[in-house]
Each structure stands twice: as structure tokens, then as C-alpha cells.
Amino acid sequence: MEAVIGGGMLNGAVDLLIQHLASPEVRTFFKCHKLDDGLLVKLIGTLNAVSELLGDAEEKQLIKPDVKNWLDEVKDAVYETEDLLDEIGYEAQRLKFEGDSQTSMDHVWNFLSSKLNLLSKKEKETEEKLKKIFEKLERAVRHKGDLRPIQGIAGGKPLTEKKGPLLDEFHVYGRDADKEAIMELLKMDRENGPKLVAIPVVGLGGVGKTTLAHTVYNDRRVEQMFQLKAWVWVAEQFDVSRVIKDMLKEVNAKIIANKEADELLKEALEGKKVFLVLDNVCSIDYNEWHKLLLSLQDVEKGSKIIVTTHSENVAKAIETVIPPHPVDGITDEECWFLFANHAFGGVNSTAESQVEELGREIVSKCKGLPLAARTLGGVFHSKTDYKEWEMIAKSSM
């Protein structure tokens, strides 16, 4: 995660998790394994309740340490659920495709049941893990304090769409030069170079690496340069198996019985010029990275992969023929425009003119970090009382 845990980033993960839980594959898995589907329904409901609180938590985390701790607890529970349900979803899809040759639903269920007879011990373990996760999330909802439900967040949700991340292009400041520099790197294709070139995008947490990658990913020129594109949010641990499965989902590749995920990915991308984004890679083992490259070895020459990271070590581990692209902070003026957009809904408003001097003083504390400017803008949103602004500005934020 970034240095400041954005409610928007976590909200995107929660939304993906809810979609995963509600998928036919997971429901089939629960039915066939005779797991408590009531637990599944309760877990989805609890995640929805958590999701509605994340927008308010994002605004308050900078001035309330308890809220930051609350977000950390929710994040841990979300990661645990993601890991467990990724395994469930993959296994459910594998069994489904193995059962496709059956001629009726009764045969399908008989087939699935025969496959699952040996899994009773794992069933109990899965259910126990889900119960513990549910209890952790339910506890978070009970101990929400003064957090209030908000539908959506100030900064918008990160990408959960198949076509890649959603982004408010009109409110991206100070990244035109960085974007064009990366576009030039995407065009680069050295005659004796490798088929697939990695482009590390490196910068401090909150500096806007993900936003920059979004603007590139959504650029029309990318559609013209590449045949396929995929976006994978990696988070704290680089798990090559999970990354490959997420890529398969992005390119709509089918799970086929008796075939490993890496082989399926290799077949799905073979002979195609691809553009991949691995977002927020915090650490990486070279062997894991090498395994991923093996799955991508049959892509067409000129394929590119952007890796966003705050770690110089990650950048060195994945570097091929292109040096890392550093992402620096934006100017105070650009920070002010970003802050004002979230605090007032735009610059030059009546509310903005009353507190501009104090607002610019607050923005100077952002040190050029767009995430800080956006988050602080959310904290001050709809607050028009100068004394209230002054009190928050003088706090230990």
C-alpha cells in the first residue's frame, strides 16, 4: 500500500472482493463443499458495510490515529479474504471445466461431489478461516466509532473494470511531462532487445505513481500500439501465482482442466503485443519475477510492462534495458489546485476565497505529494468555518 492508506485504494480492493464472493464459481464451491452459504451472505453484507465507511475513514485518518488503526485492521482482513477466495475461485473454475463434458446438471453435481469427497478436512479449515475473517470484519463495523457511511469517496475508486482503471483525467495535475516520457518508452523497440521490456516507475508513497500509470493505461495511443492490455494490483507481497491468475482474468482466458495457470497465460498471450501494468509492487524475489517472465516469453516483440514501486530494490530487480523512471512531487501550485478541487469542488469559489491563505499554508505541508493534497482536501470538504480550518491546520497532521 502507499504510505498513507487511501480509502479509495482499499475500497477498490473491497469492491473486487465482493464481486468475487458473489461470483457463480464461489457459490458453486460453497454448495458442492456443503459450506455454510449463510456465512457467505453475511460476509458480503459486512464487506458492503465496511465499504460504505471507507470514504469517511480516508478523510479522518490523518487527524485521528484510531481511524488509521481501524483501516489497518480492515486491510489485514481484506488481504486474508482475498488470499483464501482466490484459491476457492480457481479451484471452483477448474472443477467446473472438468465437469463440462457431463450432459446434465445432475451429472455435473455427481461429478463435483466425487471430486470433493477427499476434501472434508480442507472444507472445515476453509470454513473456520472464513468465520475468523467475518468476525474480524464484523468487529470493525461494531467499533467504527464516529465513522459514517458514505456512498463513494472524494477521490473516486481505483480500477475494477476489465478495461482497466477508472480515472478523472481532468483532475490530474503536473504529470503531462512524465506521461509523455513514458509514452516514448512504450514506443521504443530496440532491434536486438528482448521481446518484453520492463519499465520501473519509482517514487515515494503518495507521489502519484498509480495515477500516472492510469493516465498512460487509458491513453488512446496505447490501444493502437498493443493488442492486449492488463492491469494487476500487486500490493504488499508479490505472489507470482496470484499475479498470473489475475492476468488470466484480465484477458478473459478460460481455465482448462489439467493445465497450469502459467501455461494458460502463455497460450493466451502467444504472438500478441501486450501492455501490462503491475501496480504497487512493494517487494519482489528475483526467482518469482523470473517465473512471471517465463509465462510471458511468447509475447510479440515490443511488448511492455510497467511496474510501479516505491522501492529502488524492486526497480533494480526488474530492470531490463530501460532505466527506472523517477516520479517526483508536483509543485505547490499544482498541489493547491488538487486540494481545492476536493475541498471546494473547484478553485475560485466563494468558500475558497475566504480561506485561501490558510489553505495554501496547509498545502505547503503536502511536500508535493498528490495523495496528501487530495486526502487533506477531503478532510476540509464542506467546512466553511475559518476557525474550524484553523483548528485542523494547527493540529499535528
Helix (H, G, I), strand (E, B) or coil at 363: helix
Binning pLDDT at 50, 70 and 90, where does residue 258 land?
Answer: low
Lowest-confidence range among 79-83, 163-167, 244-248?
163-167
Q: Which of 92, 124, 142 is the last residue of a domain?
A: 142
> Within a domain: residue 147?
no
Query: What percent of the chain lies above the pLDDT cut of 90?
Result: 16
Domain shared by 111 and 185, yes or no: no
The letter for the amino acid at 350 is: T
Strand partners, 199: 306
**C-alpha closest to that of 329 among 376, 369, 280:** 369
Query: What percent of the chain lies above the pLDDT cut of 70?
Result: 71
In the block, residue with C-alpha cell 485492521 = 73
> Within a domain: residue 113?
yes
> Within a domain: residue 260?
yes
CB 50 within 8 A of CB 139: no
Domain shared by 96 and 179, yes or no: no
Domain shared by 260 and 370, yes or no: no
Domain shared by 319 and 188, yes or no: yes
Q: Which of 290, 310, 326 is the last residue of a domain?
A: 326
Residue 161 is given by DSSP the state B
Strand partners, 277: 231, 306
Domain shared by 348 and 306, yes or no: no
Angle between helices 37-60 and 7-21 (to 10 degrees): 170
Domain shared by 18 and 119, yes or no: yes
Mean pLDDT of the chain: 76
Q: Give the 3-state secondary structure percentages of the chain, helix then strand then coil, rounded to 5.
A: 60, 10, 35
Domain shared by 222 and 322, yes or no: yes
Q: Which of 326, 361, 382 is the last residue of a domain?
A: 326
pLDDT at residue number 184: 93
Over range 280-291, report the average pLDDT: 86
Contacts of 100 (CB under 8 A, 6+ apart): none
- CA–CA separation, 134 and 67 (whole Å): 20
pLDDT at residue number 339: 87
- CA–CA separation, 185 and 302 (whole Å): 10
Max CA separation in the chain (angstroms) = 73
Domain shared by 184 and 316, yes or no: yes
> Within a domain: residue 163?
no
Strand partners, 285: none
Over range 87-100, report the average pLDDT: 57
Contacts of 149 (CB under 8 A, 6+ apart): 49, 52, 53, 56
> Within a domain: residue 152?
no
- CA–CA separation, 281 and 292 (whole Å): 14
> Within a domain: residue 151?
no
E strand or H helix at 251: none
Domain shared by 321 and 336, yes or no: no
- CA–CA separation, 290 and 287 (whole Å): 5
pLDDT at residue number 12: 63
Binning pLDDT at 50, 70 and 90, where does residue 56 land?
Answer: confident
**C-alpha closest to that of 168 among 183, 176, 179, 158:** 158
pLDDT at residue number 9: 54
**C-alpha closest to that of 19 among 39, 47, 57:** 47
Rounded to 5 degrees, φ, ψ at 228 are -135, 150
- CA–CA separation, 242 and 239 (whole Å): 5
- Which residue segment(s) compose the domain that 129 sits in? 7-142
Domain shared by 174 and 319, yes or no: yes
Residue 282 is given by DSSP the state -
pLDDT at residue number 383: 67
Rounded to 5 degrees, φ, ψ at 326 are -80, 140
Residue 84 is given by DSSP the state H
> Within a domain: residue 337?
yes
Rounded to 5 degrees, φ, ψ at 25 are -60, -45
Lowest-confidence range among 166-175, 230-239, 322-331?
166-175
Domain shared by 319 and 178, yes or no: yes
Domain shared by 191 and 290, yes or no: yes
> Taking 50 as the threshold, does the pLDDT of residue 217 lie above it?
yes
> Taking 70 as the threshold, does the pLDDT of residue 368 lie above it?
yes
> Taking 80 as the threshold, does the pLDDT of residue 235 lie above it?
no
Assign residue 282 the CATH number of its domain: 3.40.50.300
Q: How many domains, in total, are found in the chain?
A: 3
pLDDT at residue number 366: 84
pLDDT at residue number 92: 57
> Within a domain: residue 100?
yes
Alpha-carbon torsion (202, 205, 208, 211), positive or negative: positive
